Amino acid sequence: MRYTIVSRNDPLSKQVEKSLDERLTRVNSIRDDYNPEVVITVGGDGTVLEAVHNYLDRLEKVVFVGIHTGKLGFYADYIYDDIDIFIQNVISNKYNDVSFPLLSATIYYQDREEHYLALNEFTLINPYRTQHLDVYINDEYFESFQGTGLCISTPTGSSAFNKSLGGALIHPHIKAFQLTEIASINSNVYRTISSPLIFPKEHFITLKPTSYSDIIFTIDHKNITLKNYQLFKFQLSDKEVRFRHYNNNDFWRRVKKSFLPENM
């Protein structure tokens, strides 16, 4: 197989990368950083996000496999102690590829628009003052939000920031996306739905700011400061990210292992 490795910049991850290179070469795999079939990530789920963003323009041609150098990850199937098992699985060549949807965002300015894709989520956060946003669902006015911001997440992102905001965990086979509030103001003057909302693939949401100040826009692990924005549109993208699973990786088992104490 033609593979590349994207690793986090810490001693353990670099050591695991070196060891993988040695072993994979011995089993006739070729490292090809320019035209890989398989992108192996070594680090955390954040490293997987980084790798996916590095290969956004060639998603149809690559598949991702994650090795976690901490504890279990959501996108990473192996922990670094399991390298032997990983190599055996590569040799056996029995796998199951699963695709997860990406979320698309369009930011409209007066004279242009910008497009982004996220694997976990987008957030709009105003850390400076109350952000006012009119929320439209499929072009129909729904509510006026005021507060710190909003999070729009994918099914695989549902266990990340979305979960901390009280959003639901969504099984990644469900093609849907979710809107959660970040510190909404609810009073006699201001009212929002407050519950997380889950949308099917064909729906879209539009956010129209009714107050204008700098705002932070996060795209997975990255963020940019926006000025002079006019409108935001979010929907599930047709683009998907393929992950290669050699072993059984049940989503609910991962949820249990990640979030519940071991003896429960």
User: CA 253: distance to chain centroid?
Assistant: 19
- In order, the DSSP letters of 10-53 are SHHHHHHHHHHHHHHHHTT-EE-SSS-SEEEEEE-HHHHHHHHH
Task: Name the maximum alpha-carbon separation found in the chain.
Answer: 68
- Cα angle 19, 23, 25; round to 5: 120
Interface with ligand NAP in residues 62-81 (CB under 6 A): 70, 73-74
Element (H, E) at 161: helix 161-164
The only residue of 13, 159, 178, 184 in contact with ligand NAP, by rule CB under 6 A: 159
Q: How many C-beta atoms surround the C-beta of residue 79 within 10 A? A: 17
Q: Which residue is nearest to Mn ion (CB)?
A: 46
Q: Per rule CB under 6 A, is residue 157 in the interface with ligand NAP? A: yes
Q: Which does 157 bind (CB under 5 to 8 A by kind): ligand NAP, Mn ion, none?
A: ligand NAP
70 touches Mn ion by CB under 5 A: no
* Near ligand NAP by CB under 6 A: residue from 14, 23, 221, 242: 221
| Bridge-based pairing state of the strands 231-245 and 205-209 | antiparallel
Q: Which is nearer to ligand NAP, 45 or 181 (CB)?
A: 45
Residue 72 beta carbon to ligand NAP: minimum distance, rounded to whole angstroms? 9
- Counting Cα atoms < 13 Å in the Cβ hemisphere of 234 gives 27
Q: Is 45 a catalytic residue?
A: yes
Provide the minimum distance between the beta carbon of 123 and ligand NAP in the complex, in angstroms, as a whole number.
Answer: 8
Nearer to ligand NAP, 44 or 209 (CB): 44
217 lies in the binding site for ligand NAP (CB under 6 A): no
Nearer Cβ to ligand NAP, position 147 or 157? 157
Rounded Cα gap, residues 50 and 45, in angstroms: 9
Residues engaged in binding ligand NAP (CB under 6 A)? 44-46, 49, 70, 73-74, 120-121, 156-157, 159-161, 164, 220-221
Binding-site ranges for Mn ion (CB under 5 A)? 44, 46
Enumerate the active-site residues: 45
